[in-house]
Amino acid sequence: MCHRMADGLLEAVRGLHLAHPELGPKPLLAKLREQQPDLAAGNKEVREALAALKAQESKPTEAAAAAAPPAAGEGGAPFGVELSLACFGFGRLPSEMGDGREKHPSCRYCVELKIPTTYWCDVNCPGNPGAWKRHAPVHKEVRRQRKNNEDGGEWQQRERETAERAARYAAQSGDEYDELLAKGARYASKEDPRREAKAYREAIALRPDKPDAYYNLGLALARSAHYVEAAQRFLEARERYPVGSVEWALAAANAFGLLIRQECAGWAKPEWWNDEGLKALSARVVRAAPDDVGCNMMRAHVLRAGHMAWEWGTRSAAELRKAATHWERAAALEPAPTKKAVFAGAADECRSQAEAM
């Protein structure tokens, strides 16, 4: 297979795998052939493409692997199992249970919160009784996040306007990809990230080369506290947007904001994840989108340093004052009172540190 064909197959498999993560190589190949009857690839090539995709995904470092729960088959759920129909507890698909079931029961709390569903073979998973303790904090995090983001309805109003624009554009273009983006935007405006994510996965399966569905899926997953996968989708969107564009900057800032979280601590980082790389990237990001909260937050975090997510050097008083300026800018742009107060407090702290030097 030539390099160009291999790249095309990889993108096609990537899109279908995101939309149907429960499928193995043979079912994926069947779906690929439905879409591309002349596809010059077999089960071996699809299997190799799946392996390549897994290699590209974030992988735990040696230190994180030592502290992580055991892999599937050893009493723990595999990374990414929340994307599939597999039991979160021990990673078994319904077809592997031997009792003819087609689907495991959904987590009722995920359903109530309207976030991407996690499945269980049983309420008390016999293969991994301790798995619930790893999953339950997701519900608490989603509720905490929604409380902190409360802004008097401004966000939902913006989402409704975005959904209306997307619907008009899709109606004019008549393009199936645009229709799926509009469908996802409509669910976002209804605060239903589960259905929103499903629409964007379908869009990625249809056009894995286009960035918008990756970015929007990242937003839906981030609002659902699926932080590790959300970071990966933002990185994939960043790779597809024109370098230096506003969209490229937003994708980078969103990925950064997730990768500094504890949930992503043990997973491999991009090549620019070092102090000098982050300084250079954050400067470009804020130049590209100076009026975005996330971009100003990224620049402020990097200039302030003090974060355990990467190894950083000494910061000067000038850098700390610049960090304070970006925290203040983020506070001015942020409509949610709780987050606005946090950013203002961070700005005051940076100025105090600069004055003490």
In the prediction, which pLDDT does 67 show?
A: 32
Measuring CA to CA, how many Å separate 231 from each of 182, 215, 344? Answer: 22, 10, 26
SS3 119: strand
**What does pTM read for this prediction?**
0.80
106 pairs with which residues across the strands?
Answer: 119
pLDDT of residue 33: 73
The structure tokens listed for 327 are 């925290």
Q: How many whole angstroms separate alpha carbon 49 and alpha carbon 37?
A: 18
Phi and psi torsions of 106, nearest 5°: -80, 155
Q: How far apart are CA 33 and CA 301, in angstroms?
A: 47
Q: Which pLDDT score is estimated for 7?
A: 61
> Does the CA dihedral 151-156-169-9 come out positive or negative?
positive
pLDDT per residue as tens, the chain (357 positions): 444 445 667 767 777 676 666 566 777 677 777 777 666 677 677 677 766 665 555 444 333 333 333 333 333 333 444 456 788 888 888 888 888 888 889 999 999 999 998 898 887 888 888 888 888 999 999 999 999 999 899 898 999 999 999 999 999 999 999 999 999 999 999 999 999 999 999 999 999 999 999 999 999 999 999 999 999 999 999 999 999 999 999 999 999 999 999 989 888 899 999 999 999 999 999 999 999 999 999 999 999 997 789 999 999 999 999 999 999 999 999 999 999 999 999 999 999 999 999
pLDDT at 129: 82
CA-nearest of 86, 2, 91, 73 to 41 is 2
Cα–Cα separations (whole angstroms), residue 130 to 87, 107, 119, 212, 263: 13, 15, 15, 37, 18
Residue with tokens 């897994």: 54
Task: Tokens for 153, please give them.
Answer: 């309805």
Tokens of 279: 């300084």
Residue 258, phi then psi, degrees to nearest 5:
-90, -40
Q: What pLDDT, on a 0 to 100 scale, did the predictor assign at position 134?
A: 85
pLDDT at position 50 is: 66
Q: How many CA atoms lie less than 13 Å away from 222 in the CB half-sphere?
A: 21
